[in-house]
Structure 1
Amino acid sequence: MTETTTRVHELNLFRRYFDLVAAGRKQIEVRVRYPHLEDLAAGHVIRFRIKGTDETCDVSVKRVTQYDNFEALLDGEGPGNINPTSTREQQLANIRNIYPPEKEALGALAIEIELLNT
């Protein structure tokens, strides 16, 4: 008998984005292509946590797509899937506020997610 376990990645998330994920309104999570996310793949689980709290929210990864930069990601995925409460311009400014140019130079990941019932 073979036992399989689902890979779980733990990532921090700001409250405003956490609330959108927990409500099932955020379909795409944006991250920089850090080496520790290299093996992130469909079928994995991400446990989002608000840093410094015990609040968590689990999502299933449906797809991971690489982009050269945040502008290409927003154009490819559609801003409404990333944050339905902000314009494309606001989102680009917010993402670049979180990730400075040297981080964006690593490339961007669009992670399609689906809220898990926990």
Structure 2
Amino acid sequence: MDDATRPRAHQLIIRKPCFDLIVSGTKTVEIRVGYPKIRRMRVGDTLRMVSGDDSLTTRVARIHVHDSISALLDAESPTAIGGGTMSPEELGDVIRAVYPPDKEALGVFALHLTTGATRCQLIPAKADPAPPPHPARRTEVIAYGILPGARGGTARKYSMCALAVRL
């Protein structure tokens, strides 16, 4: 694989409510506008989402480019974008508050994400990562994040999720 086709690693800062929805698997599409950094992303690249001290490494599964926020909302699932907590109109208003018309004119990118998680378990926040689920498989712990719904239906800072993926 040459450098032009090798997956690259990127990092984005994301707001905590959106981060939590991605960790839970509810939000699978991240919306950005066509800044040069976003335009360089390709399917298969890794994308590290960072919110404060928390981070999650995802993979870009698909990229859809839209001419406008309205076109985005016509083509993409509002639940995948906003976690199902807002109507499409409310979601459009929120996106437009972040990206005014001059930014929207750069193109609206829908980054479809996947974590590739095959196993998730609770571990203490300061503990070392759990051993691989099966010694015959090479795995890497790629992310730690709060596991929503842990401990009686509420997320606690000391309940962390280790996402292990097969390499």
TM-score, normalised with respect to structure 1: 0.89
Structure 1 stretches of 4+ with a deviation exceeding 4 A read none
| Cα 1:58/1:22, change in 2 over 3 Å | same
Does 2:9 align with 1:8?
yes
Indicate if the aligned counterparts of 2:26 and 2:79 stay in contact, CA closer than 8 A.
no
Aligned to 1:92: 92
By percentage of residues, which structure has more helix?
1
Name which structure has the greater RCO, CA cutoff 8 Å, separation 6+. Answer: 1
By percentage of residues, which structure has more strand?
2
Q: 1:24-103 alignment to 2 at 5 Å?
A: 24-50=25-51, 53-83=52-82, 84-103=84-103
| Secondary structure of residue in 2 paired with 1:106 | coil
Supply the RMSD in Å over aligned alpha carbons: 1.7
Gaps of 5+ in 2: 118-141, 143-167
TM-score, normalised with respect to structure 2: 0.64
- Percent identical pairs in the alignment equals 35
Report the CA distance between 1:101 and its aligned residue.
1.3
> How many positions carry a matched residue from both structures?
114
Report the CA distance between 1:63 and its aligned residue.
0.5
- Residue identity in the other structure for 1:105: A
- Residue identity in the other structure for 2:68: N
Q: Distance in 1 between matches of 2:107 and 2:9?
A: 22
